[in-house]
Chains A and B, each alone.
Chain A
């Protein structure tokens, strides 16, 4: 059983501890052996950076001015990223949990144990009793290998990945509307748009580097329409803020479309020649007058009208969105309703006219293309399509019948663990105890497993539950490609060797496959060899990488897919002449407003929404260990509007209990006018009793299976000081482990 029995001891040994200086301390006169040009390990911007290496340690960072996307710019996570490489919390050898305590183990011992346990579980409960759960911070080579490993080595149908929590709605919406899932324009198109609609995207905090493009657009005289329930720094800097109730995007977009139609600001020629299904979308939108849209969304009528006028009258414009509209039980529909605006005005397919979802994870794009998704095969092929199955079976040298069928999505996989259908788990590059909704249920899932293996380079809140932990590599210790949010395939370069006995993730997966007796399918000697097979596997697919090589990436500062031939330079802008559906046309979708799965009521009168802060990356397993980042915001907080705070007699900084039907947590109140009075917000990067996901609702979008992180019902309660956890002002500079022990 995978329980955490000695949490205090685990935190003591493995952190998170705060660490804040380069190897050997801050020194002015280092001898730098080499400078390695690579990219940031964090978000989908994949900024270029240079790592300074001294004696096999990354000891500093230098701007990579010549990389065209960020031209040297970096966010604070990027600047401090290198501090994780030599962090004292790094896992340096395999660990096996015995009697609740992690003990150092040899590689042979650990790998043999995994294989024998998994095999015996599969003999007893069937091949599908083991699940693989992966992540999109891995290089594309690794994500490809994880998919192949699950299906050919473990021969299980259950593989999914954390992109399900990130990009799934955008991907589903893009596929439905355009026939392909990739940002339509390169970021460099942004400065040429007169108007930007930025929906559910706190660009300032989640993709700081995209702000360079946004401000260039501003310098060119452009305006921003920001649609967000909070006055984020981006909303504050924008020209028009539609501060909607969480989960009411469809009302707003239909309202805008309504005005566009009535003011004759649509592009009928474009609609006629390049799209299908306009009439139904139009009929639906006509029902949502600005008044009705305003009543549902809480956005003043004149702002909806002004947004429509600004966007409709402009010659050029771009719509961009992120998790804010996607993390909903109707996330796919939200995406489609924004795409309706793009198609109705024909603002797509040229410079300054476009659309894009801003990918969250570093390799959120590449990681969702090559087969680590439950229903997908490499090259954005479908595991349900007989032709696609046949092609990939051919590449892999197996019979099509040996290829497992589609599995289940992330949240569903974890519910199958609670049902006892899935008995074993191999997770890599994921911290489910922070990132999945309804933490208490996820804990149950992990505790119920018969055997749980985790590959990571730090002991995450989730790996604490594992029976075996294998130490992997940070991004600077291996090479490979990632695909950024604009569809640009870039190259991560190795700067140093893995520390201690840590190994490259693809090597250990191959070793496991060999011990499983499936070694003949896993004969790779380098990421380049994996990439070469991936190129062939993706050939002819929607995400066609066949013409991409490591050399071409370096030569061109990245290659935009599709790149089907060696002569092709790639495709920075999509849809210039046609869309990716078979008839070359895009599709409108008639979208009715549904709202969040759980609405506020007398018992839980507030809308709870979650999100991010600029100083933490995703589940925080990397960034919550870096002193500088933690000091900027030591703990999660709950944003409450002063009117609401007054009603509950809550003062700024006071700790309050936030409760939903799923769980509760205690958070300090940040009383701010920048949030709606009917809404409260907590950033989600923390685990255990600080997890915002104790509150969230695991309701899923029926198409994308994305959970509804962004809207559920909650209430706040004032608590007596005696109930306060011991997290005080003395926290600054103390380690989280000390805090958690109550020192």
Chain B
């Protein structure tokens, strides 16, 4: 499968259509594997969708003690295999993108599997099908890149960890990689401004309670 997902955050209108459509997938049992967050509602209406980036070497799989997380032949990283999943939540804590969630009712880690049941039949994933703006798009690099004024990037640097992903993030700059140094705060490489505190809007806190525990 040459097709993959392209995330273009500047197009996101925060409608969460993707979130609702994800529930419709037969294998999800009504759970959505997508998250849409306000960046900082006090300052802006900007929002950002998060789906699994489908890493070439998935951290979630690397840290899984039970080898429950598999990639299929297309490089899609699947949800944990139910018979193997130990409920340990290593993957939930280790993913640099914060993607996998733990489903306490089902005792299972669940995450975006790029709608493998749909793509195997030649259909687009639900989220990319419904997204009104193309903030989530599904296609080949050759199909999507020429249409956009943003640049597809699939190299991410988290502190010391380099991650290559199957999914592309569309950036408005000429950057070749996405750099996030979250660990730097703890390791003293990055200083935080004591004057600024990240506070969430109440509208976010009402909606996202469950997300904070990385649980459904």
Contacts and interface: CB of A to CB of B under 8 A. Distances in A.
Interface in A230-254: 231-234, 236-237
Contacts of B65: none
B132 A219 contact: no
A28 B26 contact: yes
Contacts of B44: 231, 236, 673-674
A76 B19 contact: yes
A632 B16 contact: yes
A39 interface: no
Interface stretch (A209-217, A296-304, A405-413, A523-531): A209-217
Given A72-B130, A79-B130, A653-B202, A236 B17 contact: no
Given A79-B24, A232-B45, A208 B132 contact: yes
B131 A634 contact: no
Interface in B1-34: 10-11, 13-17, 19-21, 23-24, 26-30
Given A75-B132, A215-B134, A615 B202 contact: no
A652 B201 contact: yes
A211 B133 contact: yes
B149 A652 contact: no
A628 B32 CA distance: 11
A65 interface: yes
B206 interface: yes
Interface string A259-295: 0000000000000000000000000000000000000
15 contacts: A26-B28, A28-B26, A63-B126, A73-B130, A74-B130, A78-B130, A79-B21, A204-B14, A215-B133, A219-B147, A632-B16, A652-B42, A652-B202, A670-B202, A674-B45
B202 A233 contact: no
B27 A731 contact: no
Nearest to A203: B13
Chain A interface size, under 10 / 10 to 19 / 20 to 34 / 35 or more: 35 or more
A619 to B, nearest CB: 20
Nearest to B26: A28
A610 interface: no
B41 interface: yes
Nearest to A218: B149
B205 interface: yes
B13 A73 contact: no
Contacts of B149: 218-219, 221
A633 interface: yes
A674 B19 CA distance: 25
Nearest to A207: B132
B29 A63 contact: no
A209 B17 CA distance: 11
A27 B28 CA distance: 9
A63 B130 contact: yes
Interface of A: 20-21, 25-30, 60-63, 65, 72-76, 78-80, 204-205, 208-209, 211-212, 214-215, 218-219, 221, 231-234, 236-237, 614-615, 628, 631-634, 637, 642, 652-653, 668, 670-674, 729, 731-732
B198 interface: no
Contact of A671 (B29, B42, B47): B42
B134 A212 contact: yes
B67 interface: no
Contacts of B28: 26
A212 B205 CA distance: 30
A72 B129 contact: yes
Contacts of B205: 729
A132 to B, nearest CB: 35
Contact of A26 (B21, B23, B47, B129): B23
Contacts of B14: 204, 233, 614
Contacts of A732: 206-207, 209
Interface residues of B, number: 43
A79 B130 CA distance: 8
B46 to A, nearest CB: 6
B129 A63 contact: yes
A26 B133 contact: no
B26 to A, nearest CB: 4
Contacts of A79: 17, 20-21, 24, 130
A246 B46 CA distance: 23
Across the A-B interface, give the 5 residue pairs with the lowest CB-CB distance, nearest first: A26-B30, A653-B202, A204-B13, A208-B132, A79-B20
Contacts of B43: 672-674
Given A63-B130, A205-B13, A671-B42, A72 B203 contact: no
Contacts of A27: 29
B45 A615 contact: no
Contacts of A215: 11, 133-134
Nearest to A209: B132
Nearest to A731: B206
B166 interface: no
Nearest to A62: B24
A80 B42 contact: no
B148 interface: yes
Contacts of B54: none
Contact of A233 (B17, B26, B45, B131): B45
A365 B155 CA distance: 48
B111 interface: no
Nearest to B8: A215
Contacts of A628: 19-20, 23
A73 B45 contact: no
A628 B23 CA distance: 10
Given A29-B26, A215-B134, A670-B202, 5 more contacts: A74-B17, A642-B42, A671-B42, A673-B42, A674-B44
B129 A219 contact: no
Contact of B13 (A218, A614, A633, A731): A614
Interface string B44-82: 111100000000000000000000000000000000000
A276 B156 CA distance: 60
